[in-house]
Amino acid sequence: MTLAPDTVDIAIERIGARGDGVADVGGRRVFVPLGVPGDRLRVRLGRPRGEGVEAEIVERLADGSDRAAPPCRHFGDCGGCQLQHLSGEAYRRWKRAVVVEALAQRGVAAEVEPLLALSAATRRRAKFVAERRGGPIQFGFNARRSRRAVDVGTCLVLAPTLARLLPTIRAALPAIVAEGQRIELQVTALPRGADLLAIGGGALGAARRDALKALAATADMARIAWRASEGAETEIVVERRAVVADFDGVGVELPPGAFLQASAEGEAAMRAFVLEACGRAARVADLFAGCGSFAAPLARKARVKAVEGDPAACAALEDAARERADLRLKVERRDLERRPLLPSELEAFDAVIFDPPRGGAGAQAKQLARLGVPTVVALSCNPATFARDARMLLDGGYRLERVRPIDQFVFSAHVEVAAVFRAGRPGV
């Protein structure tokens, strides 16, 4: 059989950091979505990617032993999950290995604990897209590596309280999404009701306002807000109840679109890790504190300074501190990438926590490495930037005591990392 010039037969050797199968062909890496180690595949080569090339499966010639039947019918087209086709044990090994390999690339030798697995149906927060392009509204998630909306009827990773909202939201969309429009719907399910922020639909208008109010009533949502475009002002359309997150018994009223850990179970696991690592620390700094998922409960037993760049998040945490006399909590608004805490400021603390965005805490880690705060607790959703920051701390004299991967993003290529550093001998 003669193959087309851009078609080759390959064997998948491993899974890469983005969840794709990886093969080496003539000294060039080939990245194949939905491939697993041991697969023999006929693939069509596509566009360049880094030092290699992307490819798509034309035919599966033989399956690797770790291949499993995906439990979701949307898998492969929907971009929300990358790893449903991998058997459970192989999946857990791979997630842990992502952290191990990221550290190894920075020369960090550490004993990485087994993956803390969470069940699939735990996501309380998700970003949906609704798109209308000359036919029925497509409501779901982006397609794999595309902005095309994939219409999703069910989703296995959503918490039941969030999944139950989807039919009601779908029914309301014809009055909300105009022809040619694409709107992002950020939905968070909380104990007092869901919070929805719609982004990208342009001017709100009376008809849309009425439709959104009706949706809030029908779905018993706590709040719906509207943002005409990314970066525009946020308008509260309806607020039927306060939107409150419970951080281990401390309530914080959230602003629209506030960052919240993807699952309550993941947040609880991370918080337990932080509290144990901080131990009896009397003075704690929580950097990139968000709305206080760690700072608020810690402030019941220690003096805590929460530092965060988002003004709305700072205001929410300040309000919570004013309402609770038992919280020893101060809040500072500060862009930690542009203006990290310096050693002269850090020396006041027994422990420092940082949980930055995916870009990591490079500027802050550099300052921490200059001082030697007794305990540093690092959390990250990006093993690569975590490893970079860890290398800085180790070079500054810290030792890496614990590394725990947490599977907060089930079936995706993402993994949460929690780690403890202690001031001491230089790392290896």
Amino acid at 310: D
DSSP structure class, residue 263: B
- Among candidate residues 296, 194, 288, 286, the one with its CA nearest the CA of residue 239: 194
| Alpha carbon separation from 217 to 44, 210, 222, 239 (Å, rounded) | 50, 11, 9, 10
72 has catalytic annotation: no
CA angle 325, 331, 332 (to 5 degrees): 165
Phi-psi region of 288 (alpha: psi -120 to 50; beta: other; left: phi over 0): left
From 81, 291, 314, 381, the catalytic residue: 381
Which H or E run includes 94?
helix 88-105
Separation of alpha carbons 265 and 415, rounded Å: 14
Q: What is the CA radius of gyration of the chain?
A: 23
Q: At what angle do helices 383-395 and 362-369 cross, to 10 degrees?
A: 20
Question: How many other C-beta atoms lie within 10 A of the C-beta of residue 296?
Answer: 28
DSSP alpha helices (H): ranges in 106-144?
Answer: none
Whole-number Å distance between alpha carbons of 237 and 256: 11
Quote the DSSP letter at residue 82.
S
SS3 258: coil
Give CA–CA dist 36/349, Å, rounded: 46
Residues recognised as catalytic:
381
